[in-house]
Amino acid sequence: MIATLVTLVGAVVVFLWVLYPLFGKPQQIPQERSALDMQAAVSKSVQELRTDLELRKIEQEDLDHIQAFLEEESSR
């Protein structure tokens, strides 16, 4: 009986310890990236768009327009 009670209390303590962060003070999730991360994301997107261009999925003027937009947005 005592072993069951100790196990039950231990399970409740572990359960509360796991759930405790949910009831703590809310913290804001950062929404900004570093400049290096932004540049890497733009480079990867442009590389994928160039591949699409080679496969004739997009036109050159579309690539230029999208690339300019990505670079403008990443500089903000």
pLDDT for 14-43, tens place per residue?
Answer: 999 998 888 888 888 877 878 888 888 888
Tell me how many helices (H) and strands (E) the chain has: 3, 0
**Whole-number pLDDT of residue 37:** 86
Please say whether the beta carbons of 74 and 41 come within 8 A.
Answer: yes
Q: How far apart are CA 76 and CA 71, in angstroms?
A: 9
**Whole-number pLDDT of residue 15:** 93
Taking alpha carbons only, the member of 41, 47, 48, 49 closest to residue 65 is 49
3-state secondary structure of 34: coil
Write down the pTM of the prediction.
0.49
